[in-house]
Amino acid sequence: MSDTLNLENAIEILLVEDNPDDEELTLYALAQNNLANQIHVVRDGAAALEFIFATGSYAHRNIYNRPKLVILDLKLPKVDGLEVLRQIKSDPRTQLTPVVVLTSSRTEQDIVESYQFGVNSYVTKPIDFTQFAESVQQLGLYWLLINQPPVR
């Protein structure tokens, strides 16, 4: 992605995805609705937490400058997705950030735990690519354009 410093104020979607193929697919789907321009991608759970909590290599960020949406994979290196979700949702400074889990896991336990931790939406990847692209576009449109977030 381009320089995060310049785009600091503009980040609307934080995509947490370790697999480059999955990243490309998600970005492509979002681009169909011109939603791919204000995305920042991180590759592991630890980097996601640093971004959200404005620590480490993201210490320059303002923690209250929340992305409009976090798209989170569950299977992540370093810190797993459920833990990232738990930390976002248990801190008053970040808990208002909408988090959507986008994963291939249909495990009952993952779904239940995600909701217990306060996930805003849980989307499983469909078998068909067109359906996948539509799902991603819809969730992008919904959270970025239709949904009314609380005042920042």
Partner 1 sequence: MTIPLRVLILEDRADDVELVLHELQKAAYSLEWRQVETETGYLAALDWPPDIILADYNLPQFNALRALHLLQERNLEIAFIVVTNSISEEIAVKCVQEGAEDYLLKDRLARLNSAVARALEQVKNRQQRKQAEMALLYSETLNRTILNSVTNHLAVLDRQGNIIRVNEAWERFAKENGAPLTTQTGVGVNYLEICRQAQGETRQLAQAALVGIEGVLSGQQAQFTLEYPCHSLVKDHWYLLHVTPMPSSFGGVVVSHINITERKQAEEQLRQQDRLAVVGQLAAGIAHDFNNILSVITLYAQLLLKSPDLAHSVAERLQIINNQAYHAARLIAQIMDFSRQSIMEPHPLELNQFLKSFTALLKRTLPENILIQLQCDRHEIRVHADLMRLEQVFMNLAINARDAMPNGGTLTIQASCQTIEPRQPLPVPGIAPGQWIRIVFADTGVGILRKDLARIFEPFFSTKVSGKSAGLGLAQVHGIIKQHNGFIHVTSQVDHGTKFTIFLPALSVAPDKVEAPTADGQSIGHGETILVVEDEYVTRGVISEILQALNYKVLLAKHGQEALMLFEKHANTIALVLSDMIMPVMDGMNLYYQLIKQAPHVKMIIMTGYTPDTQREDLIKSGLIDWLQKPFTLQQISAAIQKSLASSGATVENYADIDLPLWHN
Run of H or E including 124: strand 121-124
Residue nearer to partner 1 on the CB measure, 25 or 54: 25
Please say which residue, 62 or 130, places its beta carbon nearer to partner 1. 130
Q: How far is CA 14 from CA 80, 90, 108, 141, in A?
A: 16, 18, 25, 15
Cβ distance to partner 1 smaller for residue 33 or 96: 33
Tell me how far, at minimum, the Cβ of 96 lies from partner 1, in Å.
Answer: 26
- Residue 127 Cβ vs partner 1, minimum distance, rounded to whole Å: 7
User: 17, 23 in Cβ contact below 8 A?
Assistant: yes
Q: How far is the CB of 64 from partner 1 (least distance, A)?
A: 25
* Least distance from partner 1 to the Cβ atom of residue 24, Å: 7
CA atoms within 13 A on the CB side of 124: 10
Q: Do the Cβ atoms of 102 and 136 come closer than 8 Å?
A: yes
Q: Which is nearer to partner 1, 37 or 57 (CB)?
A: 37
User: Among 37, 22, 120, 115, which Cα is nearest to 73's?
Assistant: 22
Measured from the CB of residue 103, what is the shortest distance to partner 1 in angstroms? Answer: 10
Nearer to partner 1, 64 or 129 (CB): 129
Q: Which residues contact 131 (CB under 8 A, 6 or more apart)?
A: none
Interface residues with partner 1 (CB under 8 A) are: 2, 19, 21-22, 24-25, 27-28, 31, 34, 36-37, 104, 125, 127, 129-130, 132-133
